[in-house]
Structure 1
Amino acid sequence: MPFALARPAHHELVIKKSRFIACVESVPGRDAALTRVAQLKAEHPDAAHVCWALLAGGQSAANDDGEPGGTAGRPMLEVLRHQDLEGVMASVVRYFGGVKLGAGGLMRAYTDAVAQALLTAEKIPLIKQAELACSVPYSLEGMVRREVELTDAQWLSVDHGSVVTLRFALPETQAAALVRRLGDSGQGKLAWLGTDNAQNV
């Protein structure tokens, strides 16, 4: 099961006078990650490198920002993958301390900085959601609302026209049982609308 982060996690390492300042945080996608990298570069104008890795929306990215190829972004990305995280980016700001670490030393430093940050992170399971919509006469609106509110559902919209159209999202595992209950209680007057889109919320 994939996880998201409840809040950003931080860690700082000092290796042979180089500082590695790691942050792992939630981001929706690549654009937000690039904005965050630009912000970090502005906050740390004297840093030698701002390396980062991203896993979000089915996309992954890794950037070494001038470090030798494959020594920073990719090792950071592997840490995120091993933690089964989604919608996250890891960034490490490096202040060079004057001593070269070599490729192996760099890979260990970037990996450890991110791994240590994640040791303190609170992870939240991402639950697959089903989006449902139905229409009912006004006389049944209260019954539908009560049934939906007994689940872990989230209201998306309620529209009052010639009938009441209710849209909501709930954990996919609860959807089939709710559809059955509403069908039984709907006296044949409840119509399901074609919006059954499963999505991660």
Structure 2
Amino acid sequence: MLFDDSYKTTKEASEGIFRDKGSKFIAYAYPIRSDEEVKPIINALRSEHAKARHFCYAYRLTTDRSVFRINDDGEPSGTAGRPILNCLLSEDLTYVLVVVVRYFGGTLLGVPGLINAYKSATVEALQSSTKISKTINDVYEVNFDYLQMNDIMKLIKDESLEVINQNFDINCMIKFEIRKAQLNQVLIKFDKIEGITLKYIETT
């Protein structure tokens, strides 16, 4: 199988709502890049919904979708975070956080009722979001002499590389992204240009 160099995420924040026996479940879906973003988002929701009882969440990170976390925030184990995560799994989304804010309506819903409520609210939020597919790219920086500008620019144009940053002085620098699938062929072409230094920065 070819290396899968793309992943699905959401474009912007979205929300959904589900009601059952007086309880209200408001799901918020957010595109995130790292787990450092989770706490501030939850703190903001706690301020906004001061009377809500539970703030349960799940998120997935990384392009291989291997990093995830769930939190039931006081609900019976497995009734909140897990159903939220399952929705992200079934949609195959990553770099997404879903927080479901629950206002308790006075009637206990039981385990099946809770699982359904957290799932249904999450589905609503994800359905109203815009899904986008992104490629996994490696970011590289090339440093070169001004006289090599034409060779470098031609290669970047031929391979349709996305330039992130550039600086043309006596010593020139271009920072660009290479899609994972075309990495080897691009690096071979850079190798053929003498006197340049190419360094790997990060994977996005």
Normalising by the residue count of structure 1, what TM-score does the alignment of the two structures yield?
Answer: 0.84
Q: Which amino acid aligns with 1:124?
A: I
SS at the partner of 1:2? Answer: strand
Distance 1:45 1:56, change over 3 A: same
Consecutive unaligned residues in structure 2, runs of 5 or more: 1-5
**How far does residue 128 in structure 1 lie from its aligned partner after superposition?**
1.3
Kept in 2: contact 1:134–1:190 (CA 8 A): no
Q: Which residue of 2 aligns with 1:32?
A: 37
| Distance of 1:182 and 1:68 partners within structure 2 | 56
Q: Which residue of 2 aligns with 1:170?
A: 178
- Compare 73-82 and 52-61 and name the one that shifted more: 52-61
Distance 1:28 1:179, change over 3 A: closer
- How do 1:9-88 residues align onto structure 2 when only pairs under 5 Å count? 9-57=14-62, 58-88=66-96
Q: Which amino acid aligns with 2:126?
A: L
SS at the partner of 2:79? Answer: coil
Consecutive unaligned residues in structure 1, runs of 5 or more: none
| Distance of 2:36 and 2:145 partners within structure 1 | 44
SS at the partner of 1:134? Answer: strand
- Compare 100-109 and 61-70 and name the one that shifted more: 61-70
| Distance of 2:143 and 2:51 partners within structure 1 | 60
- Compare 31-40 and 132-141 and name the one that shifted more: 132-141
| Distance of 2:183 and 2:11 partners within structure 1 | 26
Over aligned residue pairs, what C-alpha RMSD do you find?
A: 2.3
1:2 equivalenced with 2:7 (yes/no) = yes
Q: Which amino acid aligns with 2:167?
A: V
Q: Which residue of 1 aligns with 2:163?
A: 154
Q: Which residue of 1 aligns with 2:141?
A: 133
1:89 equivalenced with 2:97 (yes/no) = yes
SS at the partner of 2:57? Answer: strand
**How far does residue 159 in structure 1 lie from its aligned partner after superposition?**
6.2
Kept in 2: contact 1:17–1:97 (CA 8 A): yes
Kept in 1: contact 2:163–2:174 (CA 8 A): no
| Distance of 1:105 and 1:130 partners within structure 2 | 44
Kept in 1: contact 2:161–2:176 (CA 8 A): no
**How far does residue 146 in structure 1 lie from its aligned partner after superposition?**
4.0
Kept in 2: contact 1:2–1:86 (CA 8 A): yes
Aligned residues: 195
